[in-house]
Each structure stands twice: as C-alpha cells, then as structure tokens.
Amino acid sequence: MKIGFIGLGNMGAPMAANLASAGHEVTGFDMAEVAIDGVTMAQSAAEAATGRDVVITMLPNGQILRSVADQVIPVMQKGAVLLDCSTVDVESARAVAAQATEAGLLALDAPVSGGTGGAVAGTLTFMVGGDGEGFKIASELFDIMGQKAVHCGASGNGQAAKICNNMILGATMIVTCEAFALADKLGLDRQAMFDVVSTSSGYSWSMNAYCPAPGVGPKSPADNDYQPGFAAELMLKDLRLAQQAAEAADADTPLGEAACKLYAQFVEEEDGKGRDFSAMLPRFEKRGHS
C-alpha cells in the first residue's frame, strides 16, 4: 500500500519503520526533523497524505489531530482510509471521523496499548472504532504493527476502550505499589509477596507482567531505574481523558478520579515526570500513613 504517516515521535517512528520494512511505500511527516530507514519524508502533512491509500496519524492530543485533519482530509482520495492511532478525547475522534466520512473517506480511531517497546517490536494492541470496511483494509497494517486489533464498534469507541483500559491500569498499578510498600513495612519479602499474589486472587497485569518492584517477576522498567516504558505523564493524560469522558457521560468513577489525582500529584508536584508510571512504588516507600 501507499501509506502516509504523520507524527513520527517515539511511537510513530518505529511503527512507520515496521511498515516500510514490510514492503509498503511510506511517506512521513513530522514537525521535527527525523530520518527513518525506508520512509520518504515530506515537507508537509498534506504532501504526505496526497495520493495515499491509508493515512496514519500518531499525534499528541485532540486539538492537534483536528488541525492535521483539516490539512489532510481535503487532499485525500475518496475511499482512502484515515487511521488515527493517537490517544485523544472521544469528542475529537468522533468529530474528525464525521469530517472524514463526509469527504468520502473511511475513518478509524485506533489508539494503541503496548508502549514504545511494543511499537518497536510490532506487538501493539489496537482498539479500533469506525468503519467496518476501513477495518478490513487496515487489518494487514495492524498485523505488521501489532499482535492484535479489536474492532470495538462505531467511531470513538476505540478511544473509549483505551481510556477505560488505562483507567483500570492506573488504579491497579497504584494499589500494587501500595501493597508492596505495605509488605515491606510488615516484613514480608518482596519475592514471597510476588509468588503469592501473582498466583492468587490479587494477580493483575500490573503485578504479573509489569511488576513495579525491581528484581521481582519478569523484567520491567523497575529493573532499569524506572526509565519509562510508559511514562507517568502519559498515564496522567489518559486518566484525565477518562475523567473528561466520565463527566460528559455522567458516569461515577471514584477510583478513576482518585488515580487521576494521585498521578497529577506525582507528575506535577513530585518527581514523577519523565519516570515510568510504575515509579509510584518508590514514592510510596518514602511515605507514611496519612
């Protein structure tokens, strides 16, 4: 396929590289100067999108997505797929999808899970909302960039799935870190704690696959001084999107709200910025009961 890829940061660059190495013709654009093996760089978003079968966007927020959509939708050929892999607010995702559909395009919102490691390895999970025919066309690309793609229904539902998933993730990581800090103070060995919880009713992805305690469980950012696999500020972004959606939908999410407040404190008032979201564990180690 002829692919335009707009937004070549820590996630977008390896995704575009994987598509190019699989034999697709990839034209890219980013506001920063980047060079990616196999990717031809364009001078603008519109140039990257012109004549493409699929245009992929990986952008920081809904406002930038709307701006880029205004630039690329008018130059895209009818029947092409606009595939947004950004994590943005549901309202922006649905607005851009409506704009694309009106222009005769097939629109998909497909935020990802798996972080930069998954982007490099091609093992991302895509949560996809939007056009069913577009999903069929994009499936080949999902197979290259990821290990799984789930069609979640109408436009915006991919974003809904992502923020609901990450609300669970944020809350479970916090309580996993709390539990390790409590176990320390009760004299329970961390390995013993892991061996029990990882095979008992407390098991979770945060414990079993991404353990926040160094030297315990599979290798994780905790074993690399909490260098981010998924940065705390990105978790905060997703938790804020979840709270924005909860308010709009009149949904009661007290634990999600509490997780959002804790990550806001960690990132904006403490030392969480630039650290992995599992660095909540050393935070709790240093704190007493309040």
CA distance linking residue 59 with residue 203, whole number of Å: 33
CA distance linking residue 270 with residue 81, whole number of Å: 42
Interstrand relation of 54-57 and 81-84 (parallel, antiparallel or unpaired): parallel
Which contacts (CB < 8 Å, 24+ apart) does range 141-144 have? Answer: 141/1, 141/3, 141/19, 141/24, 141/54, 141/56, 141/83, 142/110, 144/18, 144/19, 144/22, 144/24
Q: Rg (Cα) of the chain, in Å, rounded?
A: 20
Q: What is the CATH number of the domain that holds 217?
A: 1.10.1040.10
Q: SS3 for 199?
A: coil
Residue 115 is predicted with a pLDDT of 83
Task: Dig out the tokens for 10 from the structure.
Answer: 């820590």
- pTM of the predicted model over 0.85: yes
**Is there a single domain that holds both residue 31 and residue 82?**
yes
**Is there a single domain that holds both residue 125 and residue 235?**
no
Q: 122, 137, 154 — which closes off a domain?
A: 154
The answer to whether residue 162 is catalytic is yes
Q: What is the CATH number of the domain that holds 9?
A: 3.40.50.720
Residue 289 is predicted with a pLDDT of 85
Average pLDDT by stretches of 10, the chain with 290 residues: 96 97 97 95 97 97 97 97 96 96 97 90 96 96 97 96 96 98 97 97 96 97 94 96 95 98 98 97 91
Range of the domain at 149: 2-154
| 2, 148, 162, 273: the active-site residue | 162
Residue 117 is predicted with a pLDDT of 85
**Is there a single domain that holds both residue 133 and residue 177?**
no
**Is there a single domain that holds both residue 263 and residue 221?**
yes
Residue 116 is predicted with a pLDDT of 84
Concatenating the DSSP letter of every residue in 23-75 gives: T-EEEEE-SS----TTEEEPSSHHHHHTT-SEEEE--SSHHHHHHHHHHHGGG
Q: How many domains does the chain have?
A: 2
